[in-house]
């Protein structure tokens, strides 16, 4: 059966907004320059951008491993299976060891590996890191999982009846909704209905709290409200900082929703202003998407070579280049 032709449709997500806000050139490469790079006969520069966009940095890699592990654990509990925390930790360690070997050899240029991981930007650009930095990366994963298993969440998840489960990290193919006629991607890590009938959306975090996370879970609240037909003001949202061992409830009310809509409208308007043809999501020339004036975003950027920033970063001190 022939697959339908893919089209690069305009959509919105928190991650897209962050890329747009941080560096327009990186945003252009990610959403436009790399399009079609998966095709066997794609131009070399397009193929390069496509492979690079799939790379992670070591911090986001650690976070994704934690999220994958907790997703599997929640699905096991949903199915009534017993989970051994020691086994989960051992699997996570083995997974990261395999990921590291695959990435260090830059096998991602020629081999398919696993959907959730392609390689690391640190290996692609030969960043020199002490062993302690990689050990700390594992410690981030280990401590996040350890706290999760001693928190209130295991008992809560195991207490849920089948009809109380809504979603566990459902993925891009499923977790999206329409806002003002535009597709919006919103993928809560965990969504359920508590004992008193209140829908709850949860987002696990391995990093420290920072500005912008509230708007992310407000998007989740809108998504759950639309998909499962709950009044949005009834949804409860929670940010769980696994490595800090704390939880933060996010207020979901009409004032918060108004703020989210304003943020959404402003973000979309700025993105569309750089389109030559909004109807077909055709961007202006790359020159309309200048690189960041500061080198700070470039340190973890996967596009530093095609952008021309690789040499400038290399000229920095070792301490700056691995920050």
Dist. CA 103–CA 217, nearest whole Å: 32
Buried b (16+ CB within 10 A) or exposed e, 174-210: ebbbebeeeebbbbbbbbbbeeeeebbbbbbbbeeee
* pLDDT value for 309: 86
Cβ pair 213, 203 in contact under 8 A = yes
* pLDDT value for 262: 95
Dist. CA 139–CA 148, nearest whole Å: 14
Place of tokens 């252009």: 28
* pLDDT value for 2: 54
Give the tens place of pLDDT for each residue, 262-272: 999 999 999 99
Q: Enter the DSSP assignment of 169.
A: -
Residues linked to residue 205 through DSSP beta bridges, in sequence order: 241
Mean pLDDT of the residues in the chain? 92
* pLDDT value for 265: 97
Cβ pair 314, 125 in contact under 8 A = no
**What three-state secondary structure class fits 176?**
strand
User: For the chain (length 323 residues), average pLDDT per consecutive 10?
Assistant: 75 95 97 95 96 96 97 98 98 97 95 92 93 96 98 97 96 89 94 96 90 86 95 95 94 92 96 96 97 90 92 64 38
Dist. CA 194–CA 156, nearest whole Å: 9
Q: Enter the DSSP assignment of 31.
A: I
Q: Which residues contact 120 (CB under 8 A, 6 or more apart)?
A: 55, 56, 57, 58, 61, 99, 100, 103
Dist. CA 199–CA 206, nearest whole Å: 23
How many beta carbons lie within 10 A of that of residue 109, not counting itself? 12
Dist. CA 201–CA 217, nearest whole Å: 7
* pLDDT value for 4: 60
Structure tokens at 176: 């999206």
* pLDDT value for 23: 96
Cβ pair 60, 122 in contact under 8 A = no
Dist. CA 132–CA 140, nearest whole Å: 12
* pLDDT value for 320: 41
Cβ pair 30, 50 in contact under 8 A = no
Structure tokens at 108: 């991602």
């Amino acid at each position: 059966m022939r697959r339908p032709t893919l089209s690069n449709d305009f959509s919105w997500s928190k991650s897209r907004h962050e890329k747009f806000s941080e560096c327009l050139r990186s945003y252009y490469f990610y959403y436009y320059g790399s399009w079609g790079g998966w095709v066997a006969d794609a131009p070399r520069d397009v193929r390069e951008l496509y492979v690079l966009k799939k790379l992670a940095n070591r911090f986001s890699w650690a976070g994704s491993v934690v999220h994958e592990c907790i997703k599997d654990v929640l699905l096991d509990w949903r199915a009534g299976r017993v989970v051994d925390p020691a086994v989960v930790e051992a699997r996570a360690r083995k997974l990261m060891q395999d990921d590291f070997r695959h990435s260090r050899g830059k096998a991602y240029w020629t081999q398919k590996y696993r959907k959730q991981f392609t390689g690391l930007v640190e290996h692609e650009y030969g960043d020199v890191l002490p062993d302690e930095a990689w050990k700390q990366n594992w410690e981030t994963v280990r401590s996040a999982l350890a706290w999760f298993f001693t928190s209130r969440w295991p008992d809560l998840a195991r207490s849920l009846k089948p009809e109380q489960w809504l979603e566990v990290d459902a993925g891009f193919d499923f977790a999206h909704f329409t806002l003002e006629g535009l597709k919006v991607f919103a993928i809560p890590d965990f969504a359920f209905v508590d004992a008193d009938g209140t829908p709850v959306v949860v987002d696990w975090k391995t990093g420290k709290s920072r500005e912008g996370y509230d708007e992310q879970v407000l998007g989740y609240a809108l998504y759950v409200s639309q998909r499962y037909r709950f009044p949005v003001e009834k949804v409860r949202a929670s940010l769980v900082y696994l490595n800090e061992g704390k939880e933060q409830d996010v207020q979901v009310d009409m004032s918060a929703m108004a703020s989210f809509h304003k943020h959404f409208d402003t973000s979309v308007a700025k993105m569309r202003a750089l389109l030559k043809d909004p109807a077909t999501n055709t961007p202006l020339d790359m020159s309309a998407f200048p690189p960041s004036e500061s080198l700070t975003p470039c340190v973890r950027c996967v596009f530093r070579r095609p952008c021309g920033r690789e040499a400038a970063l290399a000229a920095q001190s070792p301490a700056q280049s691995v920050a």
